[in-house]
């Protein structure tokens, strides 16, 4: 949620943030506390349906989902205004400019595209378009965000499964929203993928062809200008047991066969220099593999640090993207009071989304 907080702080005093799909208000609370001078409008049906009941029943001391529960969890956020109904139908007469739009409601088309097109037309030049669940599980979220980034000639900034793009304010393409996530020294990752080519990201953001079947061929990691490197080193390896030597920060790392770069399946990094703040370099990988039956989806690799190998999942899949940053420790597995999700949540939530789409299309029976 550091990324969402950083995005909210970009909104000027008196500016408007619109979020669709706040659920119990966790994201709402983050944005409201990060920028108490912004006005946050949270749109949801606030209806207690099958998947929300299954969700609430999976945890203790969570009230049934609804407007009353949302107001309870955001009771200390005076800058939040809930709006009950479907977006954009419930706000079809909205004509006020918006500084930031956060999408976390319908995760499939045509509903997702309808929401984005409606709110982008009301988003100020230079405003922030962002959302949740940039993943292969919700492929339309990935496609729509990638599509808008391509249309605006910029790239999607991705932290975890949160994504963000800045709307152009003129003829110059907007810079990626790689905002500082903490006060630690920042790393700069420059990578090359086989098809996507070169890609640059700062520490904490995904660099490379994230969740695409496009293997990374080399990388170069160094501190941002003026930041100490604390003796940063990294190396690459593959499933056949081949690996590079430890390579110093700012130097290109790649595996080769007959002088030609080849994909790698694991990476390790460490700090060997002066480190008075007790920082660690932490990193995670992603991959997407093509199998005999078409695309085979692979999971994110586990977070690693202190020279440990971090490999794709499955281990033989070629790495397509990487996130790396300095921190005091590995990220917590827990994402908040309402996680982990029940195993059947996505199934029942998917049915609810399909039912809602049919309602909107007039085909509900």
Is residue 141 over pLDDT 80?
yes
Contacts of 291 (CB under 8 A, 6+ apart): none
Spatial CA neighbour of 265 closest among 288, 290, 293, 236? 236
Give the H/E segment covering residue 71. Answer: helix 67-73
Distance CA 275, CA 110 (A): 51
Q: What is the mean pLDDT of residues 11-17?
A: 97
More confident residue, 339 or 48: 48
**The pLDDT value given to residue 363:** 37
First-to-final CA distance of the chain: 39
The string of pLDDT tens digits covering residues 74-98 is 999 999 999 999 999 999 999 999 9
Out of 53-57, 211-215, 241-245, 333-337, give the one with best mean pLDDT: 241-245
Q: What is the mean pLDDT of residues 294-301?
A: 63
Instruction: Dig out the tokens for 19 from the structure.
Output: 């979020």
Q: What is the mean pLDDT of residues 184-203?
A: 91
The mean-pLDDT minimum among 50-54, 293-297, 319-323, 348-352 falls in 348-352
Distance CA 163, CA 158 (A): 5
Judge contact between 238 and 263, C-beta under 8 A: yes
Judge contact between 193 and 200, C-beta under 8 A: no
Distance CA 130, CA 98 (A): 13
Q: What is the mean pLDDT of residues 153-162?
A: 93
Local confidence band at 312 (pLDDT 50, 70, 90 cut-offs) = confident
Q: What is the mean pLDDT of residues 356-361?
A: 46
Contacts of 288 (CB under 8 A, 6+ apart): 136, 211, 212, 213, 214, 295, 296, 297, 298, 317, 320
Distance CA 347, CA 51 (A): 8
Spatial CA neighbour of 357 closest among 139, 121, 114? 114
Q: What is the mean pLDDT of residues 122-134?
A: 96
**The pLDDT value given to residue 213:** 84
Cα–Cα–Cα angle for 217, 218, 219, rounded to 5 degrees = 145
Q: Structural domain boundaries of the chain?
A: 2-166, 187-327
Is residue 6 over pLDDT 90?
yes
**The pLDDT value given to residue 52:** 84
Phi, psi angles (nearest 5°) of residue 214? -145, 95
Local confidence band at 328 (pLDDT 50, 70, 90 cut-offs) = confident
Tokens 């399909």 correspond to what residue?
Answer: 354
Tokens 């990578």 correspond to what residue?
Answer: 191
The mean-pLDDT minimum among 55-64, 74-83, 116-125 falls in 55-64
Tokens 């420059």 correspond to what residue?
Answer: 190
CATH topology of domain 2-166: Rossmann fold (3.40.50)
Distance CA 135, CA 141 (A): 7
Is residue 334 over pLDDT 70?
no
Contacts of 192 (CB under 8 A, 6+ apart): 198, 199, 216, 217, 218, 219
DSSP code at position 96: S
The edge-to-edge listing of strands for the beta sheet with 310-311 is 247-248, 232-237, 266-271, 310-311
The mean-pLDDT minimum among 101-115, 156-170, 178-192 falls in 178-192
Q: What is the 3-state secondary structure (H, E, C) of 214-276?
A: CCEEEEEEEECCCCCCCCEEEEEECCCCCECCCEECCCCECEEECCEEECCCEEEEEECCCCC
**The pLDDT value given to residue 23:** 92
**The pLDDT value given to residue 354:** 46
**The pLDDT value given to residue 296:** 55
Q: What is the mean pLDDT of residues 275-297?
A: 74
């Amino acid at each position: 949620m550091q990324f969402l907080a950083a995005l909210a702080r970009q909104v000027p005093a008196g500016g408007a943030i619109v979020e669709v799909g706040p659920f119990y208000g966790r994201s709402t609370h983050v944005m409201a506390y990060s920028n108490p001078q912004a006005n946050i409008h949270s749109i949801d049906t606030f209806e207690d349906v099958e998947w929300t009941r299954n969700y609430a029943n999976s945890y203790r001391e969570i009230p049934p989902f609804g407007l009353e529960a949302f107001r309870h969890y955001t009771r200390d956020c005076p800058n939040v205004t809930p709006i009950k109904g479907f977006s954009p139908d419930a706000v079809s007469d909205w004509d006020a400019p918006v500084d930031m739009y956060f999408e976390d409601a319908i995760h499939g088309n045509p509903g997702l595209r309808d929401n984005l097109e409606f709110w982008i037309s009301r988003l100020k030049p230079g405003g922030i378009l962002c959302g949740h669940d940039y993943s292969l599980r919700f492929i339309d979220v990935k496609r729509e965000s990638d599509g808008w980034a391509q249309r605006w000639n910029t790239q999607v900034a991705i932290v975890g499964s949160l994504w963000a793009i800045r709307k152009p304010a003129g003829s110059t393409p907007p810079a990626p929203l790689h905002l500082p996530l903490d006060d630690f020294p920042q790393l700069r990752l420059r990578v090359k993928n086989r098809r996507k080519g070169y890609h640059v990201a700062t520490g904490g953001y995904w660099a490379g062809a994230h969740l695409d079947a496009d293997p990374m061929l080399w990388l170069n990691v160094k501190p941002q200008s003026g930041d100490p490197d604390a003796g940063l080193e990294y190396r690459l390896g593959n499933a056949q047991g081949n690996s590079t030597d430890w390579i110093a920060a700012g130097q290109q790392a790649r595996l080769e066969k007959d002088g030609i770069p080849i994909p790698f399946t694991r990476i390790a990094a460490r700090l060997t220099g002066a480190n008075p703040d007790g920082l660690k370099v932490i990193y995670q990988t992603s991959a997407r593999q093509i199998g005999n039956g078409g695309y085979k989806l692979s999971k994110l690799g586990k977070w690693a640090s202190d020279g440990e190998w971090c490999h794709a999942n499955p281990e033989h899949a070629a790495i397509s993207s990487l996130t790396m940053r300095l921190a005091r420790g590995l990220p917590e597995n827990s994402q908040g009071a309402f996680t982990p999700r029940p195993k059947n949540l996505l199934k029942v939530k998917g049915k609810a989304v399909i039912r809602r789409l049919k309602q909107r299309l007039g085909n509900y029976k």
